[in-house]
Structure 1
Amino acid sequence: MSRFKFFDEDESIHVENKVDAEIGEVIDSEQTEPIILKYRCEQTVATKFNNVITNHATTKREFHVKNKIDKGNLIVEVLLFDNIIQINPSNLSEAMDLFSSLDLIKCNVTVQVDSETGKINKILNYGEVLKNWESFKKNIKERYSFLRSSSAEIELQKFIYLAEAQIKDEKLLIEDIHAKLFFDLFFDRYLVNLSEVYKPYTLNYSSQLFEGVSVPLHVSSEIVFEKPEFVELKKQSKIDLKEIDTSNIKKQYDQKFQPIVGYKFSSYDFQYQVRQVINTDLSLIEEADVFLAEEVKNNVEIIVDYKLRRIE
């Protein structure tokens, strides 16, 4: 499963009831009133060539979430309530606007959670997602109907083709949703089994520098602090270069980056660190800090700093 895709009208949630029931206590109930959650997330992404920043993007998002149990299944409704993006250089802003608008379709979902992994296993409003995509596709075709440059038109058609191929395959869409850091952090094992969150695991990272390259990350967890209702975890990963297609990475580097950087390929590295606070009473995430860095040492690097906070 791919993970961590970074480049990726205001609505409101009407809430009639809030409940204090813990998910762990109601998991076997036929149906429960929803637990209402709100999160704000801030992400900074920077790309460096020769240790000099060449582009920089900041994203601020607010998510509204409803958790409930229905016939023994955990159902989660997610609404991307606010979506603010700033990018430098500004000539990249129009492309970012397209991806941002597309996320309003992908991120507004009602899903069923896998009872073993805590990940999404089904999109319950998938028909609505498809309908919204068709409207979006029609609108952007009309918006860019003025295009005269054949290369620009080809790029737009490529964007539409790739997005549609992903959205019209529910499995691929779920993978892409999980590639967004909020969903990867929120939908995790703590939702269904708190004892599992301390165990080591492996996830596959989809490279942001090299197309089609998957990087297995072997993640270990350490308890930093705990009290009855909270636990703070520190997670960090290691990579094994024997598991990575470094020949493909070098080939792509020579074609894509060496003409810009000038220097020959050095070595590939990746860092992944997470600080996470989990509410063990309610089985929900309270906050998280994520640091990601992928690089060909001293030559090209992409750095991500991500902060998630639950708000009232």
Structure 2
Amino acid sequence: MTTTQQGPFDHRMAVYGTDEAFVAAAVPFLCEGLGAPGEAAPVAVAAPGKLDLLRDTLEGEAKGVVLVPHTEWYTGSAANAVARSAGYLAEHAAPGGRVHLLMEPVWNGRAGRSARETTEWIRYEALANLLFAPMATTALCAYDTRVAGDAIVAAARRAHPGTGAYEDPVALTAELDSMPLPLPPADAETLAPPTGEALRSRASARGLQPADAELFTEAVLAAAAALGPVSRTLMWGEAPACVCELRTARRVDDPLAGFVPPNGAAPEPDQGLWFTRQVCAYVDVRDDASGAVVRLQYG
């Protein structure tokens, strides 16, 4: 089944359970892109075996399609995927972002390895409706029920217009962020104040290599600078999963905070939560009556 929406950003969803059904959804979509006047070459980001199916089916037309193994596109967190998509559109799409993108996350890898990771990717799917709303991009998100599973597909329907289950992205992300975070462990260290020297030292003591300790420190400091005065800083965990939690009096009301790509090819520490999200595996934000708790996990 394939669903569509109206508007500048055309965000579709294809659900299938066989190779034949994948081809039946993907090939017409890519041919639609090949036939669209003034568009850049369509792109298929999928499992290598599925790319082989597309080559065999499209034959000569395959030369006009950019084929990318999904393990080369989805190489990190959901925030990294936002950056990769935005960068590709800026560099390769026709004016206005006109290009057809077939996207299949690695559901039998990082994206589907845990309920928490799945939540991150559903958030990415929901926020895409806001992040890319002004773009004339046509995206088809491919969900293979043999690896994604019924629960992931059901959640994804809520992030895709035209499915009958679609929900407002702001409301959906708020729901995802309403789950209370686990309490910090009893051995969590308090850092006062959270200086670069203190963060670097404690990250190293918890097993991060010097380059990783430096990068994590920069990510924490970037978040702290973006959030305003930090009243409490906690650190716990062992490499690679070192965690730092910041308590701030400022709420983070914007669901897109840290997801909107800034100008520039590479993330820099002065880009605040964008830099933090690019560096950290998880950035959990919980607003409350006193402000916000922002929890950063490096690995």
Which TM bucket (shorter chain)?
Answer: under 0.3
- In terms of fraction of residues, the more strand-rich structure is 1
Q: Greater RCO between the two (CA within 8 Å, min separation 6)?
A: 1
TM-score relative to the length of structure 1: 0.26
- In terms of fraction of residues, the more helix-rich structure is 2
